Chain A
């Protein structure tokens, strides 16, 4: 094989794939804007700042993405919706403010795309899948205290065990059984733990979007709450 020909081919094949797989998608999605509603309600999604944005950093730093995804597949592509992981499939609009984006590629644990959705129902318990901040904190501190057989590692290092000075702090965890600490002590979440939980509870991709026509047809009135 002649070398100039070889090099031209090496260049051409790669540039073609690079163009097709990254440049064209950039053109297609680069200017994706939040969805504005005709009735004048808030655009979707909103750019989270403050606590939830700090919590995203904790999520990335602790590597939650190596066990949890944040993407719900369409009905025909898997049982994500049937499992109660979300009411609709997630679409590009859902992620426009996410940096880094934590779609994830593996589910050692459940999907977290809608951890803050208070309505979506767990098919086994027939109750909302949503859990409050106290539950989430306890789950992070001692996973098996809230979910039997949980395989999640404990994030005790995001909590602080300290002596109770005058009275129990408001945010002290209510621990029992093997996880309880000796009397006179309490376990309180650090800022990181609180931020992380605020982030988890901010995750809600249930707002109807134009890309998912089925969702719009099913709920034409689009209830925000």
Chain B
């Protein structure tokens, strides 16, 4: 009897196609994600602006140590960690969690039924980052890279993360049965790995029994994995989603993807000690990290090949689609940055490049030119779907791209060169310390110029984002593309 009841109205209405059902489903998911994701993204972008200020101040301080005078809050040794932490936890982790949640919801076909959980998580996270950055500026940082926040702050952050990750776990649990798409591999990995990494890293570094070289080992392991298994995972997952999505083609090879993912998962976790080549660590431990770094060639080549081959034939999309332009730029930066990591991990090269700006440039390349660019691209795709209007101006997106691509590029190149100068200087015993340091200074001016480009790009981006938050975007249902309006009309 119930069958006839449910069938009656259906047969009376016109047939509904699968694509229409999917469209409605996607709209429902996006609607459910609106409040928590806009909150996550807004906080992330505010932290990006704060990090830009800190980064610019730090670059100016290196060039002119007297800049801003002798003020404890703005001494280089505090502004630099304030920058790295605001960037890593305020911007990168939050924007990564935002994009990660949206991708999981989309791919698991689950709407967000408990947005308050995510909102509370974000509140905790932001309280943590705020107190943490202020603590560093007040001189209460712990002095351990990427674990500078005081212990109780790390706890607040972890509570925030668990509230957010809990919902990711629920979505994965409730996912529609069937094929698990590649992006979900990386995201399931990222959220699981970070929970373990963050708690273990803090316990091993912060415990009363932690001291000496063991602490340095735990810290290097944490910092290396924070970049690779946490942020890089999210970044690669996003690239695997957006390139096929926007180009409308399936991923070139499932087998390459599988090989790329498993080799990435297997080797990444071992690469942390390349930050201390030549340091007072057991030799086998450093060697294991160098070997793992070299083996990372396998995932990097397979993953990059897969991205390039998927987009092959559709390179014009780089010209038209903001998402593809940012995301593909990021994918190439990933390949370049990973290649530099491999080269820098060789003992013969590390003799010069270790403990120099070479490593800073590499991190900048991975966290900015790769990860952040992919996140910008994903924001350009996701936000219109959350707020129901389109980006106001393709020119603003273009200006943001120019600032971010050139600024990031200038910073990476000048920092890399300054690292090589620094390394060869330190390796020349006839060169006094101040001569070595002065030899880097011309490059420092390049870095400042790069930071000004970034500041410009980020300001435009934040302004554009604000117009979307206020629903001032174009009501048109067609995405904002580069290269003129006639293109838009002709579609």
Contact = CB atoms under 8 A, between A and B. Distances in A.
Contact of A62 (B78, B282, B429): B78
Nearest to B70: A156
B351 interface: yes
Given A1-B185, A99-B212, A73 B279 contact: yes
A11 B441 CA distance: 46
A78 B359 contact: no
Interface string A44-87: 00000000000000011111111101010110011110111000
Interface residues of A, number: 77
Contacts of B45: none
Contact of A65 (B75, B143, B266, B438): B143
B429 A60 contact: no
A25 B262 CA distance: 25
Interface string B458-473: 0000000000000000
Nearest to A84: B429
A185 interface: no
A149 B282 CA distance: 37
Given A104-B355, A153-B76, A154-B70, A6 B180 contact: yes
B76 A66 contact: yes
Nearest to A29: B214
A100 B143 contact: yes
Main secondary structure of the interface of A (DSSP, over half): loop
A96 B280 contact: no
Given A84-B429, A97-B212, A103 B280 contact: yes
Nearest to A82: B429
A106 B180 contact: no
Contact of B218 (A14, A22, A110): A22
B344 interface: no
Interface in A142-187: 143, 147-157
B61 to A, nearest CB: 7
Most buried by A among B142, B422, B429: B429
Contacts of B354: 73, 78
B280 A143 contact: no
Contacts of A149: 434-435, 437-438
Interface string B190-223: 0011001000100011000011111111110100
B475 interface: no
B296 interface: no
A13 B262 contact: yes
B452 interface: no
A92 B144 CA distance: 17
B270 A17 contact: yes
A107 B180 contact: no
B428 interface: yes
A154 B229 CA distance: 39
A156 B81 CA distance: 21
Contacts of A6: 180, 185, 188
A28 interface: yes
Given A30-B214, A99-B212, A105-B275, A63 B280 contact: no
Contacts of A150: 434, 437
A162 to B, nearest CB: 17
A110 to B, nearest CB: 5
Interface string A18-43: 10111001101110100000000000
A7 B173 CA distance: 12
B310 interface: no
B221 A21 contact: yes
Nearest to A56: B143
A103 B215 CA distance: 10
Interface in A90-130: 90-92, 94-110, 123-124
B76 A67 contact: yes
Contacts of A65: 77, 143
Given A1-B180, A92-B281, A123-B429, A63 B77 contact: yes
Contacts of A218: none
A78 B143 contact: no
B77 A11 contact: no
B192 A10 contact: yes
B357 interface: yes
B479 interface: no
Contact of A102 (B143, B193, B221): B143
Given A1-B185, A147-B433, A17 B77 contact: no
Contacts of B281: 25, 92
A224 interface: no
Interface in B245-293: 258, 262, 265-266, 268-270, 272-273, 275-282, 285, 288-289
Interface string B67-83: 00011100111101100
A60 to B, nearest CB: 4
A179 to B, nearest CB: 12
Given A14-B229, A154-B70, 20 more contacts: A3-B172, A6-B185, A6-B188, A10-B188, A14-B265, A18-B221, A22-B218, A25-B281, A26-B204, A28-B282, A29-B217, A62-B78, A67-B77, A77-B277, A92-B213, A92-B280, A100-B205, A152-B65, A153-B76, A155-B70
6 contacts: A1-B258, A89-B280, A91-B280, A95-B216, A105-B145, A150-B437
The 7 closest A-B pairs by CB, nearest first: A63-B77, A17-B269, A73-B278, A60-B143, A77-B278, A61-B139, A156-B70
